[in-house]
């Protein structure tokens, strides 16, 4: 069963879309795999000043992507690198065990976007 926080982020996702002039873009998964998350970030002065996502998948994919953008907006890159799948899971009030992999995907797409900063 999903927590109220997960349901809220699924039904009312935050920061949906793509930043056209993004400084970093992370992509994890493929539509063929049943899930895909794209995260774009805008950075100024080593701080994430904006972030948006697009997700293809189940409610957990959308909710973890949405909460991730809330967790990273406005923080320093060094702090964003410390965010783990456990942080994502906790911020959503806990995902069902069979959906925890989406918290892992959120952590991976964040690290991918930061690794690709231009």
Query: Which pLDDT does position 55 carry in this prediction?
Result: 96
Q: How many CB atoms lie within 10 A of CB 70?
A: 13
CATH classification of the domain holding 105: 3.90.1010.10
Identify the burial level of 79 via C-beta atoms within 10 angstroms of its C-beta, where 0-12 means exposed, 13-18 middle and 19 or more buried. Answer: middle
Q: What is the phi/psi pair of residue 57, to 5°?
A: 155, -160
Residues 6+ apart with CB under 8 A from 9: 62, 63, 64, 66, 67, 92
Structurally, the chain folds into a number of domains equal to 1
Query: Which pLDDT does position 93 carry in this prediction?
Result: 98
- Per-residue HEC secondary structure of 71-115 comes to HHCCCEHHHHCCCCHHHHHHHCCCCCHHHCHHHHHHHHHHHHHHH
| pLDDT one-digit tens code per residue, 64-113 | 999 999 999 999 999 999 999 999 999 999 999 999 999 999 999 999 99
| Domain range enclosing 12 | 4-115
| pLDDT one-digit tens code per residue, 17-58 | 999 999 999 999 988 888 899 999 999 999 999 999 999 999
Q: Is the pLDDT of residue 118 over 80?
A: no
């Amino acid at each position: 069963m999903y927590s109220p926080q997960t349901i809220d982020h699924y039904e009312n996702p935050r920061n949906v879309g793509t930043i056209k002039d993004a400084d970093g873009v992370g992509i994890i998964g493929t539509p063929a795999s049943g899930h895909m998350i794209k995260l774009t970030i805008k950075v100024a002065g080593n701080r994430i000043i904006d972030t948006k996502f697009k997700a293809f998948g189940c409610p957990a994919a959308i909710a973890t992507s949405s909460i991730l953008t809330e967790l990273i907006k406005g923080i320093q890159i060094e702090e964003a690198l410390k965010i783990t799948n456990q942080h994502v899971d906790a911020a959503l009030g806990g995902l069902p065990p069979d959906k925890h992999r989406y918290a892992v995907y959120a952590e991976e797409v964040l690290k991918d976007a930061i690794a690709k900063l231009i």
